[in-house]
Amino acid sequence: MIKRVEINYRGIFQKTLAKRIGGDIVMIAARMGQVGFSNGRYSDAPERNGIPCKYFAFVSPDLSEEELEAECGAKLDIDEANISVVLDDTMVKGVEPWAWHGVRPINEKVVPYGYMLVVSRRRPEDLVRFMARKPYPYYLAILEGDASFAGLWVYRDDLTHERVLGALAALDPQLLSIEAVKGYLWDKTHEEHRVEAAQKAYESVRHNVHEVTPLQGIDWPYEIPKLPKWHEFSEGVVVKAVPREFHLGPKGQSRNQLFKRGTTKSQRPVVRFDLCTKCTLCWLECPDQCFDPTPDGYYDVDYEYCVGCGKCAEVCPVQECIVMVDELAFEDNRSPWEHWKRDPEGYIRWAEEKKGTHRVLPNVVTGTGQRVVEAEPVPVGGKPKPAARAGA
Amino acid sequence: MAVAQPVGVYEREDLLTGCQAVAEGIRLANVDVIAAYPIRPYTEVMDAISKIIADGKLVAEYIVADSEHSQFEIVKHAASVGARAFAGSSGTGWMYGFEALVVTATDRLPVLFLVGNRALDDPGAFGVEHNDALAIRDMGWLLCWVATAQEALEHVLLGYRIAEDKHVRMPMALAMDGAFLTHSQHIVRIPSQEAVNRFLPPFDLGERRLHPDNPVSIAPQVNEDWVMEIRRQNWEAARRARRVIATAYEEFNQVFGQRYRPPYYFEEFLTDDAEVVLIGMGTVAMPARTAVRRLREQGHRVGYVNLRWFRPFPTEELRESLRRFRAVGVIDRDFAHGAPDDGGVLLHEVRSCLYPVRERPAVVNFITGLGGRDVSIQDAIRMFEITQEAAREDRLDGFVTWVGVRE
């Protein structure tokens, strides 16, 4: 028997976290007399900010290491997952690591009655409504928490690593027992708070497991591309360029249809067009050319292509004009500018509701993690004020 | 042998080095872009081409690069916009630009390169050794050796004809022995432009040409989803190249008279009734042929096979040829450190080519002429004698002989 655990994470911020979880699954399973090994999906390029990637751990109670390696080693991806860990809940909207992979459902590999373990502060139904319908039941477990950056050395440890190990013990005690998790963490660190974090996660996740039936979820809207045979594409790897087209308005610029990269984002920019001074900085600075100039001099956002890097919000000189908001707050990728033109007041109410009352300051290395401050909302008809700069 | 010579095909004769002959070929092929960076023995060709341009005999972009890497990148990109391009190098310079060379092959851009063979690179050694050009052998290139200045000029024209063929479109390395051919002056018949134009069509990259009117992306990053299919395409091109090569020589003969005989990929010298042959590449053909004549005068049934095309390797043709003999002596002007039986590169190609033959000839190997050491007629005779002995004894051990080393 082989237990396959996949850890879905976002590059680059969660790469080390995912690797440590995968490695520790093997170490703890070994304490329980099992064999295992761990690897990352080599085809990933997890250095890309936010890109969906995978790490794996394989454990067997009865196979030899040689047989386990033969089944699971030297493979790029797994065919099925007994447990699929999701370290950033915004990935439930789908994952697209490369061109030609298509936007894949996050639960693609989960087996019947297998587990999805999602780190999230959302309710299960708020996650399932983005996920693909599967023909069989499986379980959704939620480990309450935020998408952790703690694997990156500039961010403070938030114990997500220990908590995920505790949560896995809650889902499959044969894979990892909570005693083995705690014993391992204590022997490795001699830090009681790490053992406690695993224990608490173990207890909370046991009461946060929900069956997902074949009736739940959505019909997956994305097609998976079919790779051409060797004689079906141009020699010399020559690709027809995207014809350069431009008109003012939403989607007025031609873009690559084969790799939209929108699943890279965990946040999206919400624009208060009524505060915009048309300074052009978002349009100029966006590394992915996601801002489309409009006939009235504003800049619409093409969310299909936005990777959520936050550069626009960082350079916007107007307070509250561009704010990054959790991607799971949004149902679709429709044009915000069209929405605003159609219903200016309604759009601003909608935008402010999405923005909520907390603001994460543009990412700066503080050693203490993200800085969150209270919003200073600007009412409809309010005047633009200069943005407070990080570090100012 | 008297050959029918169409009138007006050659416009004049001149005394040219191998490099100058290549430069004449570049002029006649009306090459658009030349990138240059000096390293001997290749350097003489860049001198010769710049003189031709300065004299107003060729209109071309002549770019002196800041290194071989830039030099090879320049011609690769020039070819991608549809320019007929030329570059070249020797020894370590060739190796320094290797990254660009391998991408030129996967980009399937038919640039012609001259490799003036040079040793790799016991500090400063600049004599001939074939390992520099041979390093490209697994990378999707056409690789061909010439043995005379006349062949050098003609293989510039043949090279572009073959490399640019729409069924091929592979980069081509035209290799010639440093010093012994690059710097050796011989009388060369220079074809007329009119005749060359009849043989060599203009370069047309078709739908792959990078141009504002034909916007394309070239060489996007690929991953494991693509590399096998790309290799499969390249392999197919190399397979097609075997046919295109033969066709190109036939067309060449139609324009220029019967210059080359089938099977074109290699040239046999007095092999019809031969019992043993030597096979080699490049200028070693000169002492080997003379040795054949002298030995034949003494009644020995020996012959010589001058291998031109190393890539694609003429597997079937060479197999059919060599299986007729009792023993084959493979001359390697290269060394493959740590290879099976400590033999040279060509040994392994020839031996592998002969393996499926049930009654195959004995194969022995000679490592000779390394780093520019000359190979004499006497050396060639000795190689024949050892090969004849192998034919008698069919030895399996001790069959690699170093010829010309001080011992």
| Residues A258-296 pLDDT 10s | 889 999 999 999 999 999 999 999 999 999 999 999 999
Q: Which of B219, B223, B221, B220 is nearest to A43 (CA)?
A: B223
Give yes or no on whether B10-256 and B266-403 have one common fold: yes
C-alpha separations of B321 from A273, B236, B303, B331, B349 in Å: 80, 24, 12, 17, 14
Q: What is the CA radius of gyration of chain B?
A: 21
Over residues A61-82, the pLDDT tens digits come to 999 999 999 999 888 999 999 9
Q: Using a CB–CB cutoff of 8 Å, tell me whether A233 touches chain B.
A: yes
What pLDDT score does A174 carry?
Answer: 97
Out of A43, A235, A243, whose CB is closest to B223?
A: A43
Contact assessment for residue B156 and residue B112, using Cβ atoms and an 8 Å cutoff: yes
Q: Respond yes or no on whether the N-terminal peptide bond of residue B312 is cis (omega within 30° of 0).
A: yes
Chain B residue closest in CA terms to A45: B223
* pTM for the whole structure: 0.90
Over residues B341-377, the pLDDT tens digits come to 999 999 999 999 999 999 999 999 999 999 999 999 9
Q: What is the mean pLDDT of residues A307-315?
A: 93
User: CA torsion B113→B116→B122→B127, rounded to 10°?
Assistant: 180
What pLDDT score does A150 carry?
Answer: 82
Q: Using a CB–CB cutoff of 8 Å, tell me whether B15 touches chain A.
A: no
B243 min Cα distance to partner chain A (Å): 19
Q: Which of A103, A119, A136 is nearest to A21 (CA)?
A: A119
B205 min Cα distance to partner chain A (Å): 11
CB distance A235–B228 less than 8 Å? no
Contact assessment for residue A305 and residue A251, using Cβ atoms and an 8 Å cutoff: no
Instruction: Give the DSSP H/E element, type plus range, for residue A194.
Output: helix A192-206
Residue B254: what residue type? Q
Q: Which residue has the tokens 């300065």?
A: B54
Separation CA B303–CA B325 (nearest Å): 10
One CATH from 3.40.50.850, 3.30.390.10, 3.40.50.970, 1.10.520.10 for B10-256: 3.40.50.970
CB distance A235–B208 less than 8 Å? yes
Q: Which of A156, A30, A134 is nearest to A84 (CA)?
A: A134
Over residues A378-392, the pLDDT tens digits come to 888 888 888 876 544
What pLDDT score does A392 carry?
Answer: 41
Separation CA B396–CA B393 (nearest Å): 9
Q: Using a CB–CB cutoff of 8 Å, tell me whether B298 touches chain A.
A: no
CB distance B169–A235 less than 8 Å? yes
Residue A101 tokens read as 């992979």
**In this structure, how many other beta carbons lie within 10 angstroms of the beta carbon of residue A246?**
9
Give the 3-state secondary structure of residue B329.
strand
Buried b (16+ CB within 10 A) or exposed e, A104-115: bbbbbbbbeebb
CB distance A241–B109 less than 8 Å? no
User: How would you classify the pairing of strands B309-311 and B266-269?
Assistant: unpaired
Separation CA B177–CA B42 (nearest Å): 10
B220 min Cα distance to partner chain A (Å): 7
Residue B153, Ramachandran bin (φ over 0: left; ψ between -120 and 50: alpha; else beta)? alpha
Q: Which fold has domain B266-403?
A: Rossmann fold (3.40.50)
Out of B169, B216, B229, whose CB is closest to A230?
A: B229
Contacts of residue B108 in chain A, CB cutoff 8 Å? 235-236
What pLDDT score does A359 carry?
Answer: 85
Supply φ then ψ for residue B141, to 5 degrees. Answer: -110, 155
Q: Respond yes or no on whether the N-terminal peptide bond of residue A214 is cis (omega within 30° of 0).
A: no
Q: Which of B241, B44, B339, B29 is nearest to B154 (CA)?
A: B29
Separation CA B249–CA B144 (nearest Å): 13
Q: Using a CB–CB cutoff of 8 Å, tell me whether B232 touches chain A.
A: yes
Over residues A172-197, the pLDDT tens digits come to 999 999 999 999 999 999 999 999 99
Q: Which residue has the tokens 């390394």?
A: B370
Query: Domain spans of chain B?
Result: 10-256, 266-403
Q: Respond yes or no on whether the N-terminal peptide bond of residue B262 is cis (omega within 30° of 0).
A: no
Over residues B54-95, the pLDDT tens digits come to 999 999 999 999 999 999 999 999 999 999 999 999 999 999
CB distance A240–B215 less than 8 Å? yes
Contact assessment for residue B166 and residue B237, using Cβ atoms and an 8 Å cutoff: no
Residue B21 tokens read as 């002959």
Residue B406: what residue type? R
Average predicted confidence (pLDDT) for chain A:
93
Q: Using a CB–CB cutoff of 8 Å, tell me whether A244 touches chain B.
A: yes
Domains and CATH numbers, chain A: 3-212 (3.40.920.10), 262-374 (3.30.70.20)
Cα B171–chain centre separation: 12
Estimate the crossing angle of helix B227-256 against helix B98-106, to 10 degrees. Answer: 90
